[in-house]
Structure 1
Amino acid sequence: MTEDRAIDVVVFDVLGTMVDEPGGLRAAVREAVPEGDEPTVTGLVTVWQDHVEHEQRSIEKGSRLYANSETLDREAAERVADRAGLTDRGAIERLATAAQRLAPWDDAPAGLVRLARRFPVLGLSNAGRRTLLRLNAHADLRWHLALSAEDARAYKPAPDVYRLALDAAGCPAERVLMVAAHAWDLRGAQAVGMRTAHVRRPVGDPPRTSDTFDWQVGGLAELAAVLTSP
Structure 2
Amino acid sequence: MNAHPDFDVIVFDILGTMVDEPGGIRRGIRSLLPDLDDDGTEALVRTWYGHVEEQQREINGGRRPYADSTLVDLEAAARVAAEAGVDDEDAVRSLAGAGQRLDPWPDSVPALARLASLLPVVGLSNASRAALTRVNAHAGLRWHLVCSAEDVRGYKPDPEVYRLAIAATGRAPDRLLMVATHAWDLRGAQAVGMRTAYVERPVGDPPRAADAFDLTAASLDHLATLLGAG
Q: Smaller-chain TM-score range?
A: over 0.9
SS of residue paired to 2:99: helix
Where does residue 108 of structure 2 map in the other structure? 108
TM superposition shift of 1:90: 2.1
* Amino acid aligned to 2:97: T
Partner of 2:141: 141
| Distance (Å, rounded) in 2 between the aligned partners of 1:38 and 1:224 | 35
Counterpart in the other structure of 2:202: 202
What's the offset of the Cα at 1:88? 3.0
Per-residue deviation at 1:41? 1.1
The DSSP-based 3-state class of the residue aligned with 1:228 is coil
Letter in 2 for 1:83: E
Matched, 1:168 2:187: no
Which residue matches 1:59? 59
Contact 2:20-2:105 at 8 Å conserved across structures? yes
Given residue 44 of structure 1, which amino acid in structure 2 is its aligned partner? L
Amino acid in structure 2 at the alignment position of 1:127: A
1:58-77 C-alpha deviation (Å, 9 max, x unpaired): 11111111110011001111
Is contact 2:118-2:229 (8 Å) kept? no
Contact kept? 1:5, 1:175, Cα under 8 Å = no
CA shift at 1:47, angstroms?
1.2
Unaligned runs of 5+ in 2: none
Aligned length: 228
Q: Which runs of 5+ in 1 are unaligned?
A: none
Which residue pairs with 1:43 in the alignment? 43
Q: Which moved more, 1:38-47 or 1:64-73?
A: 38-47
State the shift of 1:208 in Å: 1.0
- Indicate how the Cα distance of structure 1 residues 30 and 121 shifts in structure 2: closer, same or farther if over 3 A, else same: same
Aligned to 1:183: 183
C-alpha RMSD of the superposition: 1.6
Query: Could you tell me the TM-score, scaled by structure 1's length?
Result: 0.95
Q: Distance in 1 between matches of 2:38 and 2:6?
A: 47
Seq. identity, %: 57
Conserved? CA contact 2:77–2:96, under 8 Å: yes
Mapped pair 1:75 → 2:75: yes
Alpha carbons of structure 1 residues 36 and 121: separation in structure 2 relative to 1, 3 Å: same
Deviation, 1:229, is: 6.7
1:118 aligns with 2:122: no
Question: Which residue identity lines up with residue 25 of structure 2 in the other structure?
Answer: L
Superposed CA offset, 1:52-102 (max 9, x none): 111111111111111100110011111111111112332211101112101
Query: Tell me, what secondary structure is at the counterpart of 1:179?
Result: strand
